[in-house]
Structure 1
């Protein structure tokens, strides 16, 4: 039966195996995205992810101000030998960062800094899978809200922990990782109930891109606050922002469009009808054995691990590179460290809209779209990282290539980074917990490896860092191209939907 205006709406992504491309949903008008409840959810989620990423990266920039570099350190600022010449300008020096009177600084060497920058990810590893599993059963809004609130509260204690010593700071950062570990799986669990198939790429990209935007805002803001108010103020301000967002989140968000108080009937019917049985909670039972033996799932796991290696290398170590090798002052350091994330945010958002357009117009299948955007997001960054490695002391070329690296890498947001909801919508949060757990391993190893490669503070050591990142990206691109998929896997189809499909096939044969 057609809609009264004579139009039909097709609200399901085409399967790679459907030969007739028969619409799975008719008679439901697509309400506009503008000012909709699902767009408002995406914006609020974007803000929360931005805050939580600001809490994650602020230590990377603040570390430059927290460390007392006036103490002689071989090959570093205590030496009169510089790997690269100082940039032009009175403020661009590699001297000790001036802090307001009474602000403590610490004699942490490169290895200690590497461990502290990687500490967050030790805790982040612990709660991904559990957070995804519980979010899939109870709903993701409570876990996303508590994850941000817990991380923000612990961030307020950072100056105290640093004053007690590096071991205390390491423990605190690891606990922050524990709190933040549930956020992304919870986000994906929420979208399993809210994101119509033909809008998945744009809605999930828009919300998830808060990570790049958060890094973009936090890095220059951290540099500015460090030089004007002192580095402790960074953690007080960021922690306070996280607590404020959590209050708004708990007041405004609902796990399911059925229980949302401000959604229109038209939009609620559209979302429920387009998602169907895949929008139901998975309960306590999940097909673990089928997941373990799923090749498409392993394609996501391996690819995300590899792509995160270069991402986390830049996220945690770029401010150190700009300070120790290129000798930018802290304000410039924070701004220049942030520029790549602005480019990533813009490109990832555009990629989400383009991916949905290609799927909706049936230009490519879901599988082809995911592979295309993943290849773009892996191979181009690899080439730009190699260009960074041989830009030597050219400040302009280094910043340009680092920006291009992040911009191209942002297209993975419409590729492998959201592939979990393609292959198993009702288990999307749990799968994201699994893939993010493995994907966090580079966050632990990369800063430590960077500290090992660069302990002599030479350009040659940093060149090894960029070569390793590029090589890992290339291997991942090949692996995902061969084994990735965008089809819903048999083990992820709810029994109700499977029964309906079987009934349709039976009626077709009888006819």
Structure 2
């Protein structure tokens, strides 16, 4: 291998490292979804108390979104992601200590962990704006976002094994240690821009230097001004904000409550609960990456960016709504897992809808825009997760929870089809 003829591009390595960072982020985040089942049984928590514990993370995650985007824009995705990894891994490891202290202390710890993970999405968009070519965006972004379902899948499968084999505290210790180890590789391998990377090939450096998006990204490093007025006056930005919220509504509810949902079927043991909870996330990972490949291919064949983004988002939200509607009245675990696989699987199309749209409409400020839209995208983790616990305590069923999600999905589709854009709103 030579500097001019690498066997694997540095762009591919950056995408892989971002995927792994997102994967570990979600392993640590989702571990509580399984852990809370064992913890609630040990401490005697109600569903409402479970909801508060599960949603506490999103309190910190929410308030730190916009500051996290600004900090990432100021200091770069490499540094901010690395520090974030160390912080949220520490919070994961101290979770058992907090839980044995009190529910209040556990909630504070989860809030602190949420603050640590708040900048992850902005870091990924920051690095994408500096490392990805325009025709690679859909495919690369879906791979990086693919860390969400894959991390969830791994967490659900391994956490049940760790709890059964060792204990629920051991699960948090193991996952926290994983983050510390990965942080060492992150700082060693990842660089903020191609210009700063000593290992990149000469050909790839020249390719990125000649790309319009690379030039814009480098320029943004010198010009830190964020055109907030233009962003907030743009209908397409608000379409992106609302669709980040709508796409995340059912995602975060299922992220927090899926193990508890399947635990309600008495015939399922905790091992089966982990398996049933993991399957929908596998479908989300597969379909999401296929959607990215299809989107880039359609763009290369002449489809406009806005047409591709609208098509992918509509398929994702409408298809997911159909699966949730079915899930609201099924009565067996097999029927439930099929319906939820259908719902989460098709939701993967939104990764090629609203997902890359930050880079389409604000290529120089995608990191800041991601912090803004993910603020709205985090609200379901607070409102939806708490509301789910309250609804279950009152009604004893998930039916209304799923029906509310259907309505929210359809509202998102209507807004997206009317106001989404594929052209930059700021230059």
Shared fold (TM-score, shorter chain, > 0.5)? yes
Contact 1:220 1:333 in 2 (8 A): no
Query: What is the aligned counterpart of 2:311 among 372, 378, 395?
Result: 372
How many Å apart are 1:457 and its aligned residue?
A: 6.3
In structure 2, what is the equivalent of residue 14 of structure 1? none
The structure where helix makes up a greater share of residues is 2
Summarize the Cα distance change of 1:178–1:286 in structure 2 as closer, same or farther, 3 Å threshold.
same
Distance in 2 separating the partners of 1:349 and 1:160? 38
SS in 1 for 2:63: coil
Moved beyond 6 Å, runs of 4+: 31-34
Measure the CA separation in 1 of the matches of 2:137 and 2:22: 17
* Structure 2 Cα separation of the partners of residues 37 and 226 of structure 1: 38
1:258-269 correspondence runs (5 A):
258-269=195-206
Match of 1:432 among 370, 377, 380: 370
Separation in 1 of the partners of 2:405 and 2:86? 33
Query: Where in structure 2 are there 5+ consecutive unaligned residues?
Result: none
Choose from 295, 304, 311 the match for 2:251.
311
Cα RMSD for the two superposed structures:
1.4
Structure of higher CA gyration radius:
1
Q: After superposition, where does 1:439-454 map in structure 2 within 5 Å?
A: 439-454=377-392
Comparing 127-136 with 208-217, greater Cα deviation is found at: 127-136
CA distance in 2, matches of 1:383, 1:232: 38
Matched, 1:241 2:178: yes
1:148 deviates by 1.6
SS of the residue 1:455 aligns to = helix
2:63 is aligned with 1:126: yes
Identify the match of residue 221 of structure 1 among 135, 158, 161.
Answer: 158
Once the 2 structures are TM-superposed, how far is the Cα of residue 361 of structure 1 from its aligned partner? 2.0
Offset of residue 359 of structure 1: 0.9
Give the whole-Å Cα distance in 1 for the aligned partners of 2:5 and 2:146.
22
Provide closer, same or farther for how the CA distance between residues 34 and 297 of structure 1 changes in structure 2, counting only shifts above 3 A. Answer: farther
Please say which of residues 207-216 and 271-280 is displaced more in the overlay: 271-280
Q: Give the aligned partner of residue 341 of structure 1.
A: 281
Q: List gaps (5 residues or longer) in structure 1.
A: 1-30, 69-104, 494-511
Structure 2 equivalent of residue 10 of structure 1: none
Quote the offset at 1:203 in angstroms: 1.2
- Per the alignment, residue 82 of structure 1 pairs with none
**What does residue 147 of structure 2 align with?**
210
Does the aligned pair in 2 maintain the 1:316–1:447 contact within 8 Å?
yes
- Does structure 1 retain, via aligned residues, the 8 Å contact 2:240–2:354? yes
Question: Structure 2 CA distance, aligned partners of 1:377 and 1:242?
Answer: 31
Q: Which position in structure 1 is the counterpart of 2:417?
A: 481
Deviation of the 1:325 alpha carbon: 4.1
Per-residue CA deviation, residues 58-109 of structure 1 (Å, 9 max, x unaligned), is 01111111122xxxxxxxxxxxxxxxxxxxxxxxxxxxxxxxxxxxx21111
What aligned pairs does 1:159-174 form with structure 2 within 5 A after superposition? 159-174=96-111
The count of aligned residue pairs is: 421
SS in 2 for 1:176: helix
Work out whether residues 370 and 416 of structure 1, in 8 Å CA contact, stay in contact via their aligned partners in 2.
yes
Please say if residues 39 and 168 of structure 2, whose CA atoms lie closer than 8 Å, have aligned partners that are also in contact: yes
Report the secondary structure of 2:356's partner residue.
helix
- Tell me the CA shift for residue 396 of structure 1: 1.3
Contact 1:373 1:415 in 2 (8 A): yes
Change (3 A) 1:32 1:49: farther
Q: Structure 1's 181 and 261: CA in aligned 2 closer, same or farther, altered over 3 A?
A: same
Does the CA contact (< 8 Å) of 2:5 and 2:201 recur in 1? no
| Per-residue Cα deviation, 1:293-351 (whole angstroms, up to 9, x for no partner) | 11110000011111111111110011111112455211111111111111111111111
Name the structure 1 match of 2:21: 48
Q: Where does residue 406 of structure 1 map in the other structure?
A: 344
Q: Deviations over 1:445-487 (max 9, x none)?
A: 11111111100463xx311001001110011011101000011
Q: Secondary structure at the match of 1:390?
A: coil
Does residue 471 of the first structure (1) align with residue 410 of the second (2)?
Answer: no
The alignment partner of 1:403 has SS state of helix
Q: Which residue of 2 aligns with 1:288?
A: 228
Q: Distance in 2 between matches of 1:437 and 1:33?
A: 39
Structure 2 vs 1, CA of residues 387 and 326 (structure 1 numbering), >3 Å: closer, same or farther?
farther
